[in-house]
């Protein structure tokens, strides 16, 4: 009673992964040129880019989380506690906040209220449009940008996992796959520089 046709022959084990769009340098530069250090959009952008935070974590960073003695962050999605270093660019942005120690959260609205995760998504859409970015450059895309930049600067998959809080190595490799391909291709072609050269 075996069937003669395989109904699964066109199925893929793992669908193609596209995910969120990483921001290229041109878009990062454009956003930073429009939103200077000291502005709330630049602060939110910097927390997402240099901490690699999801929107739920960006909205919950407290001043105590960024003290030199305590870089402890608990991811809301996973419940995982991380100790993260502060990039110098993020330090510059944080230093511009005069009332930082007295704030409940690092990123606050103009009315002194904490952002909601959904509110941050909507605000980022407004902020990117104002800066002249095309649609598709999101808050979560900045998390992917950090992972991509780390991979391009030869961070290991385990280092990516440590920074972004991933437990699944396959997920972390999504960030490093393109960078690894570029490095391997460049190294491979370097070995062929004299191949078929006409002297």
Concatenate the DSSP letters of all residues of 47-107 into one string. Answer: HHHHH---HHHHTT--GGGGBTTB-EEE-TTT--EEE----HHHHHHHHT-TTGGG-SSSS
Long-range Cβ pairs for the range 102-106 (8 Å, 24+): 103/63, 104/62, 105/59, 105/60, 105/61, 105/62, 106/43, 106/47, 106/61, 106/62, 106/63, 106/65, 106/66
Q: What is the pLDDT of residue 79?
A: 62
Q: What is the pLDDT of residues 78-135, one digit of tens each?
A: 666 667 778 889 999 999 999 998 999 999 998 889 899 899 999 999 999 999 999 9
Q: What is the pLDDT of residue 24?
A: 92
Q: What is the pLDDT of residue 80?
A: 62
Bridge partners, residue 90, by sequence: none
Alpha-carbon distance 169 to 87, whole Å? Answer: 24
Rounded to two decimals, the pTM is 0.76
Instruction: Tell me the pLDDT of the chain averaged across its residues.
Output: 81
Give 10-residue mean pLDDT values along the chain (199 residues): 72 58 93 96 93 84 72 61 80 92 90 90 95 93 86 80 74 69 76 74
């Amino acid at each position: 009673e075996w069937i003669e046709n395989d109904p699964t022959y066109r199925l893929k084990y793992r669908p193609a992964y596209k995910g969120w769009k990483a921001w290229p340098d041109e878009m990062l530069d454009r956003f930073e040129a429009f939103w200077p250090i000291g502005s709330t959009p630049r602060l939110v952008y910097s927390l997402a880019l240099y901490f690699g935070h999801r929107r739920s974590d960006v909205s919950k960073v407290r001043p105590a989380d960024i003290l030199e003695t305590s870089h402890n962050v608990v991811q809301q999605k996973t419940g995982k506690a991380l100790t993260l270093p502060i990039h110098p660019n993020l330090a510059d942005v944080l230093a511009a906040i005069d009332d930082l120690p007295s704030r409940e959260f690092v990123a606050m609205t103009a009315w002194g209220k904490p952002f909601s995760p959904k509110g941050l998504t909507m605000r980022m859409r407004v902020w990117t449009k104002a800066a002249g970015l095309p649609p598709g450059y999101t808050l979560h895309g900045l998390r992917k940008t950090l992972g991509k930049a780390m991979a391009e600067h030869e961070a290991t998959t385990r280092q990516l996992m440590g920074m972004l809080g991933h437990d699944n190595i396959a997920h972390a490799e999504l960030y490093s796959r393109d960078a690894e391909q570029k490095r391997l291709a460049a190294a491979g072609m370097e070995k062929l520089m004299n191949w078929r050269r006409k002297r």
